[in-house]
Copies of this chain bind each other. A is one copy, B any other.
């Protein structure tokens, strides 16, 4: 993940990753025959780890909405999102990588949605609530993208505070 976040897809060969991990290239290839295998597995693993950590750390339900929104937005900032973004952009140009990453992204997206619904204490049987939660996840992704070039933590904090307030009103 560190290689992907630092060097991008083009610079992250199996040899580069193996050296960084202190294993032989052969050992890396034994577990992950192709670079596509290695990176989709890495992104999925870290995404699962972070989702579990979020579930464990943030209390769920309407009383804790600000913390829930902050936790959800945090999923899309930092090195994991940065690495995933490199993978997405590379996949948009490479036919071999695209189906793998599209499938991975759909799986991670569904899981993020489930966690968001749970943490927000949102009732998806109410019309519009599903789209409201989806919009929040899109916003979190957009905030993550803004962080790619500049550290805009202060701006992000103000946006999160305001939108947590709006969401709280909408979700009831």
Which A residues are within 8 Å of any B CB, using their own CB?
A: 6-8, 10-11, 82, 85-86, 88-93, 98, 101-102, 105-106, 128, 131-132, 134-135, 137-146, 148-150, 155, 158-159, 161-163, 165-166, 170
Contact = CB atoms under 8 A, between A and B. Distances in A.
Contacts of A10: 10
Given A10-B10, A141-B145, 7 more contacts: A8-B89, A88-B145, A89-B148, A91-B149, A135-B163, A141-B142, A142-B142
A144 to B, nearest CB: 8
A27 B61 CA distance: 62
Contacts of A165: 128
A80 to B, nearest CB: 14
Contacts of A82: 92
18 contacts: A7-B93, A8-B90, A8-B93, A88-B145, A89-B89, A98-B149, A101-B149, A105-B150, A131-B158, A131-B163, A134-B158, A135-B139, A135-B162, A140-B142, A141-B145, A142-B142, A142-B145, A166-B166
Contacts of A134: 155, 158-159
Nearest to A129: B162
Contacts of A159: 131, 134-135, 138
Nearest to A109: B146
Contact of A93 (B6, B135, B144, B170): B6
B132 A166 contact: yes
